[in-house]
Structure 1
Amino acid sequence: MNEGPSTIETELDRDIGIVGAISLGVGTMIAAGIFVLSGLAVSNIGAMAIVAFIIAAIVASFTAFAYAEFASIYPESGGGYAYVSNTFDSDLTYIVGWSMILGYPASAAFYLASFSDWFDRFIVPLFSAGLNEALPFWLSGVVILGLLVGLNLKGTEESGQFQIVVTVLKVLLILVFLFGGLQAFDSATIATSFAENADKYRQIGLTSALVFITFFGFEAIATNAEEIEKPGQNVPRAIFFAMGFVTFVYALVVLVVTLAINNPEYLEFLIGTVATIADTAGAESYITENGEIAMGYAASFYLGNIGFYVIIVGALFSMLSAANATVLAGSRVKLAMSRRDHLPERFEDLHPAFNTPYWSVLLTGGLIAFFIFFFTVLPQLIFGTTTIHAGFLEFHMGIEAIAHFADFMLLTGLIVVNFAIVRSRQKYPKIDRGFEVPAVPYVPIVAVLANLILMVNVEPGAFLLGLLAEVIGVALWVTVIGTTTKETIEQETPTVVEEIFPEDREYQILVPIADPEHTEQLMRTARNIAADKNGEILVLSVVALPEQTPLTEGHGLVDDRRAIINEAMNVDVGGGDADIPVNGIVKIGHHVDEAVLHTVTQHGSDAILMGWRGRPARRRDVVVGSTVDTVVREADCNVLVERIGTNGSVDSILLPVAGGPHAKYATEVARAIAHVTDASITVLQVVEPHNERNRELASASLNEIGTILEDVSFETQLVEGEDVADTIVDTSSDYDATIVGATREGLFQQLVFGAIPETVGREAGGTVIMAKKDLGITSRLRRLFSRS
């Protein structure tokens, strides 16, 4: 007897208080966004940048409501990914996690690339005039990245304390900047700037999408909920305090920068400061092309050289702290994904000395380095510019492109989170919620629409790169990550009885049996199929326990299931002289369908044969039966479903066909049964009356099917009928068995086999077998997007 290994849960220490939680949010929001994006925004749309920032803040606030409610319910690492995973029973949650594990590192790459840019422009020249030409501009950002990765490997308490100190310092520095700049406040200048830019709707939309990244700090708070004290109370408070404070500060900073770049004295200041500027027109052009450093020169203009370098140092520390908060949050998403088998198990491992998810931290650091080089270094090395022309497309790389790409990835996750809050209210209406989103579902719907509007306003090149990244994520899931390991399977559905004989044949058919009354009928069909292929039969019985019951409690219920296995292994069903090995296993699990699917993965089964009573489903969301539906949709092998109730010999088989891979598989099954039992097969194709074109196509299909049946007795019939299913049902009364293939394989498939096979399965006479061919990657892609 094999008992599944016990699992040991790993938890992180709750050592981040309310001040630390607020600093995570404020530290992420007041960073490269305020020092870099405020200048870019003002250079694009002047004082209307205030409107762009407010739009971005409002959009973020709608989704922040959802995060606040979820954090009060699920105080665990993972943020939006964890919330969606706890709400939807679907592999679609992987896409949310994938979007987050790229969006966070892209955000950190934006902060560190901005750090490198400012450090190279303002700090390096202090040491040597030619040093910034000798050293690569990205070096400082990569060095800081290494230090931040080391800090996060050491532990969140050190990282959180660092975050508080740096956040307080940079807020003080920004207050100094505002004090100097607001003394030159001129309402006429601001009003003129508003008027000149009020009709630039596209630019306002682009700028709102660009600066959205600055308000994503609320996610950083929620993502670290597992390490925050009293998360149900502190997380919502930290989110809304941080967002309100930061929005107010951003508006003031935009005012000061707008006042500066519209001040003739500021333009004269630039002419005397920047060697490449010769006149006023050159100064205006310089501001337009270098908006990311406009705030730095504004600080110098208002505060003098000392104030300028104080602000520069503050900006660098702001970018550093934002990157630190993002590394911390990004690594926790990977930790959560690993716990749900959406990433390899190693990313859940905690360091034995520091108790931190060190593999997740290292992966986050690697992705950040990749984005820095991909967006800022490689374009310059390969093309000599950050603007790349590919046919009719134009990709603007560089720092601004990183922000747009990060926004696309993060907005993808936020959209699903808002859907999840609506589903959570429906699915768990009585769950205790420390905070509730008002006016559900209206507020989440508004949030989804607002997020979509921002997403379509992302710069086109970054938008396409984001779509490509999502496609790569789906491909990785389908081909690599989605393959469950045997070790994980044994934890989730342990094998407790295993009667396996040493013969190992190339073909195996798995037969799950729950009711002893079904044994003989299913074993007869399985034997006929296995005998034709010189294969073997694996019989499975599952001890199903309630969700809240530990799997170890199932050992006392194994004996009844062992008896079913023994009966199946000893049943005499005839069917030729072939010696067919019959093996058996008993598994314990919370869900029978998962146990069946796990057995397919563990033992490499080629087909599953399941029984069905033929009764209409009682639930609207169930077609054949909840367990059978799931297995038919998700099994990585061929699936056969046999209607239980008929138990006689099979001398004649009706084979309705309509083309396609499922019909061919049904034909192969019919041929296998006929080959063993000497049954005759009638291949039936139903066409609309008086439709000559359909008759010609049907005749060609019948000829193709006939090539599969060459070694058994068969005939073909082409009949006319207004209703295909009714015609097949009426014809089936003259046959012992009807074998029919599935008719559809849609991305958002609601039916299991298709309307016609399911009608035939319920109403046809004699034995009915419905067949579905495994279509490999196509099938896995459909499963990814069809579950909910």
Structure 2
Amino acid sequence: MSNDDGLPGHSHDEELARDLSLFDITMIGLGAMIGAGIFVLTGLAAGQAGPALVMAFAFNGFITIFTGMVYAELGSAIPEAGGGYLWVREALGRSQAFLAGWMSWFAHAVAGSLYTLGFGAFVHLLLTEYFGIALFQPLTIGLQGVTLLSLGPDKLFAVFAGGLFTYINYRGAKETGLAGNIITIVKVAVILVLIVFGFGYIFDNPTQATGRFRPFLPRELSGVFIAMGLTFIAFEGYEIIVQSGEEVMNPKKSVPKAVFYSMSIVVTIYMLVAIVLIGSVTVTPELFGLAQEGAAEGVHGGGHLPPVPSNIEDAAVWEILGHLGELGLARAAAQIMPYGTVIILVAGVFSTLSALNATTYSSTRVSFAMGRDHVLPDMFSEVHPEQRTPYLATALSGALIIFMAVALPIEAVAAATDVMFLLLFLQVNYAAIVIRREWGDEIDYGYIMPWFPYVPIVGIVTKLFLAVYLFNYSPLAWYGAIAWILVGFGIYFLYSRRRVRETAIAEETRLITEERAGEGRGYQVLIPLSDPENTAQLIRTGSAVARHMDGEILLTSVATVPDQTPLSEGRHYADEQQEILDDAMRYVPEDVPAHQTVTIGHDVAKSINNVAYQRDSDLVLLGWRGERKRFSDYVLGSTIDTVVENAECDVSVVKTDGAPESSRVLVPLADGPNTQLAETFAAAYARAGADVMFFHVVTDDTGDDAESFLTEKQTTLAEEDLNSSITVQEGEDITQTILDYAREEGFDSILIGAAGEGILRRVLFGEIPETVGMRFDGEVVMVRKHRPVRSAVKQVIGKWLGKGAKTTVPDE
């Protein structure tokens, strides 16, 4: 194989980095589903279903599993950016795809509006009741005595949140994987604590608790169906999971697992919360008075709720919760656990903000994909030259989120969101039938749904039933949905249909390389390049090791884009990285096969680790400037630390000094797991013509043992016809002894194995190698052998306890 320059044995391509693990995408699903559904909608839904709220959540979980299986199948078979929009396009054509994308954009944007409204209500209550801050009265805008718009403090807080996260997504700033996982874990923990306290009360007071569940169906099945439709948004997190399919490691296994794991956890939690909310809350005068105020103001869908009884003795818990609306769970929590209201409000604030960030991100990606597909104006697909984010798509999505938050009451916003998602899922279920029948033999499925085609048919029937039934609750939501769909059809037939696509979606988004090993030799050295000044030195070292192991080298340079921008768009920024690689090829020896790939990812370190995993690399070789990070969470730097700690292969870090070659190499050795790798490097340097000296420092009279240890290493090289020498030095300070000897004898390089590895404390190569690397003026090569069992333990502990840890484990 040859490259464009005609060099034999060299090849290049480009690939997208997969940097989300099963844990990460399961957390994404949980974060999306355990949000507004519990913190905002539980009270509203209780007012509709009564004690049968438990049944509503159970039924929602049951009917959702059918579409969940569809998403698991298609997400495992076609793990690409676009999700439902892409599947509908391939199966049902351009017009249906436009409608799917149009509704998906609206659904995610309106979901964002719901989260902003929940945030506004929670912050309003915290400021007024717990901090004693007096806020202004709602501003009303009316016409001829009719109130058209009421803008209170909660709405202004909602507008602020919507504007803030629009700006964050425009800037490309992201909620990191660790921070997002922590928020999800914290809010799940809060809900679990609430459940534990609630069941403690129920077990202590079984008679009173069970009495609150009678009658179980106070509003018959119609109330259950309305509650199901109202809270259906809580069970659509798998849509966001598959939206990330292009960036998931091992998507054929991870995407289906994440869908089913997240759904199982969420349905169980929702049902338990419903039991606790009905069974452990007493109607107190305070709750009764607040419910009366809500009913008098006509908020929270009061027209769809029975009036509050005139006497507190006649009031049921579920009736009170319904009139408390989005604050139902927060108000009730004060009875369930200490400081319950404050805890739920604070958790709700963070939950709604993290969910708002996710939906702003999702709505932006959908509209961006439609702009790139030329069915919306090209401005939707424009990427900011500096921020590298789809800034116009972000701005328009943010504007839609803010408008819906201001214009509609919260229950109408929730209903409109559910209608759109239900209609979108109708299309996806039908698309799954078409794709299986048309291309089932040509697609490599990671998961296949059972009972085809009955599963998607049941999904279609149940989603259509719920969507139609929601008209009984909120005609306004349906009018808004119909208006949006009609506007969409008008845009499509007047504008989009005449546009000609430049390239097919499959060509734009499908991975060029998918989890394959490097071509050629069995041993591969991966060399990430970014700084032209150390390129020659890294390639010289990597080539020496590859030659000695009868292997090859793989050069990569990472083009990064923010999370808000799909990875496939990173190809527009790959030219600079390709120039680095093309220039680097002139340093590659002719007798060493070399490949090159531009990697496109959101994070440099994760991208490097995933290239190593996908290409089955044996060694990652990194460059280092020789500075240790004394006052940060990192030791050698954020990229180096993350790669070294999480790589699924051996790692070497080269402190570069710009020298074109290394003629004299000092190799300090001590018995340990990294000695073998240090010997391999020493042999590689010796084969390249360098003088190699094995070196050991003793701090007592064990010199004879040390000398025999080094002689054994010297003999190993001699068996390969490679020359080396040995020396033993005494010294109290091992680091200083190594440095003094290397300087006095004029060595160019020091090659040293890792001296230790920490579990809770961040240690990369150990104090001695890292200090030598920092203080020696010449080249320093630090090596660390991969130990799978210990690395796995460290990653698990680091994920939960490690400061700044990031998950890059390829398979959970």
Report the TM-score range of the alignment, normalised by the length of the smaller protein. 0.5 to 0.7
Shift in Å, 1:132? 4.9
Structure-2 separation of matches of 1:150 and 1:228: 26
Quick one: distance in 1 between partners of 2:397 and 2:314?
A: 41
- Equivalent in the alignment of 2:362: 329
Q: Contact between 1:296 and 1:312, CA under 8 Å: does it hold in 2?
A: yes
Do the aligned partners of residues 275 and 52 (structure 1) sit closer, same or farther apart at CA in structure 2, a change above 3 Å counting?
A: closer
Instruction: Please give the residue correspondences for 1:207-222 in structure 2 after superposition, counting only pairs within 5 Å.
Output: 207-222=227-242
Mapping 1:497-512, distance limit 5 Å: none
Q: Give the % identical residues.
A: 31
Offset at residue 157 of structure 1 (A): 5.6
State the partner residue of 1:497.
none
Between the aligned partners of 1:256 and 1:79, the Cα distance in structure 2 is 36
Give the CA deviation at 1:374: 1.8
Judge conservation of contact 2:117–2:154 (CA < 8 Å) in 1.
no
Q: Distance in 1 between matches of 2:176 and 2:417?
A: 23
**Structure-2 separation of matches of 1:479 and 1:272:** 54
Counterpart position of 1:179: 196
Determine if the alignment matches structure 1 residue 442 to structure 2 residue 474: no
1:72 is aligned to 2:76:
yes
Cα shift readout 1:78-109 (whole Å, capped 9, x = no counterpart): 22111111223342211111111111101111
Match of 1:133 among 113, 131, 137: 137
Equivalent-residue separation in structure 1 for 2:374 and 2:73 (angstroms): 25
Q: Is the 8 A contact 1:81 1:93 kept in 2?
A: yes
The question of whether the paired residues in 2 share the 8 Å contact of 1:12 and 1:356 is answered with no
Work out whether residues 416 and 480 of structure 2, in 8 Å CA contact, stay in contact via their aligned partners in 1: yes
Alignment-derived partner of residue 431 in structure 2:
420
Tell me if structure 2 keeps the 8 A contact 1:99–1:470: yes
CA contact (8 A) 1:77 1:335 kept: no
Alignment of 1:257-336 (within 5 A): 257-261=277-281, 263=282, 266-268=283-285, 270=287, 280=312, 286-304=320-338, 306-336=339-369
Which of the pair has the greater relative contact order for Cα pairs under 8 Å at 6+ separation?
Answer: 2
State the SS of the aligned residue for 1:184: helix
Q: 2 CA distance for matches of 1:105 and 1:49?
A: 27
Matches within 5 A, 1:593-742: none
Counterpart CA distance in 2 for 1:294 and 1:288 is 7
Does the C-alpha gap of structure 1 residues 352 and 332 become closer, same or farther in structure 2, counting only changes over 3 Å?
same
Answer yes or no: is 1:482 the counterpart of 2:497: yes
2:424 maps to amino acid: G
- 1:455 maps to 2:432: no
Contact 2:290 2:324 (8 Å CA) reproduced: no
Structure whose alpha-carbon radius of gyration is higher: 1
Selected match of 2:392 from 348, 359, 364: 359
Distance (whole Å) between structure 2 residues aligned to residue 231 and residue 241 of structure 1 = 15
Q: Equivalent residue for 2:379?
A: 346
Give the 3 Å change call, closer, same or farther, for CA 60–418 of structure 1 in structure 2. same
8 Å Cα contact 1:103-1:409 kept in structure 2: yes
- 2:78 partner amino acid: Y
The residue identity in structure 1 corresponding to 2:287 is: L
Contact 1:48 1:193 in 2 (8 A): no
Change (3 A) 1:312 1:158: closer
Aligned residue number for residue 87 of structure 1: 91
Contact 1:82 1:336 in 2 (8 A): no
- Of the structure 1 ranges 434-443 and 113-122, higher mean CA displacement relative to structure 2 is found in 113-122
| Structure 2 letter corresponding to 1:438 | P
Specify the SS of the correspondent of 1:241: helix
Conservation of the 8 A alpha-carbon contact between 1:271 and 1:279: no
Deviation, structure 1 residue 202:
0.9
Instruction: Please show how residues 422-571 of structure 1 align to structure 2 within 5 Å.
Output: 422-430=433-441, 431-458=443-470, 459=473, 460-484=475-499
One-letter code aligned to 1:64: G
- Which runs of 5 or more structure 1 residues have no equivalent in the other structure? 1-8, 376-397, 493-788
TM-score normalized with structure 2 length = 0.53
Per-residue deviation at 1:217?
A: 0.9
Q: CA deviation at 1:44?
A: 2.4
216, 229, 251: which is aligned to 1:231? Answer: 251
Determine if contact 1:81/1:413 at 8 Å carries over to the other structure: no
Cα separation, 1, equivalents of 2:349 and 2:220: 32
CA distance in 1, matches of 2:263, 2:195: 19
Aligned to 1:19: 23
Q: How does 1:367-378 map to 2 (within 5 A)?
A: 367-375=400-408
Structure 1 position 172, deviation (Å): 1.4
Distance 1:52 1:476 in 2: 37
Give the equivalent residue in structure 2 for 1:409: 420
Measured after TM superposition, the shift of residue 448 of structure 1 is 0.5
C-alpha contact (below 8 Å) 2:210/2:279 kept by paired residues: no
Aligned-CA RMSD value:
2.9
Q: Residues 209 and 280 of structure 2 are in contact (CA less than 8 Å); yes or no, is this contact kept in structure 1?
A: no
Deviation by residue 1:597-641 (Cα, 9 ceiling, x = unmatched): xxxxxxxxxxxxxxxxxxxxxxxxxxxxxxxxxxxxxxxxxxxxx
1:254-310 CA-to-partner distances (Å, cap 9, x unmatched) read: 11110244x3xx424536989969962697665442232221122112223x33212
Pick which of 357-366 and 276-285 moved more: 276-285
For residues 581-600 of structure 1, the aligned pairs below 5 Å read none
- Whole-angstrom CA distance in 1 between matches of 2:69 and 2:502: 39
Q: Which residue of 1 aligns with 2:542?
A: none
Q: Secondary structure at the match of 2:498?
A: coil
Residue 680 of structure 1 aligns with which residue? none
Shift of 1:113: 0.9
The equivalent residue for 1:615 is none
Q: Answer whether contact 1:78 1:337 (CA < 8 A) is retained.
A: no
SS at match of 1:196: coil
Describe the superposition over 1:498-527 as per-residue Cα deviations: whole angstroms up to 9, x where unpaired.
xxxxxxxxxxxxxxxxxxxxxxxxxxxxxx
Look up the match of 2:39.
Answer: 35
The alpha-carbon deviation at position 234 of structure 1 amounts to 1.7
Gaps of 5+ in 2: 1-12, 139-151, 295-309, 508-812
Could you tell me which residue of structure 1 aligns to residue 187 of structure 2? 170
In the alignment, is the contact (CA less than 8 A) between 2:121 and 2:326 conserved in 1?
no
Local SS of the residue matching 1:322: helix
Once the two structures are superposed, residues 424-475 of structure 1 have per-residue CA deviations (whole angstroms, 9 ceiling, x without a partner) of 1111121211111111111110110011111111133312321222111101
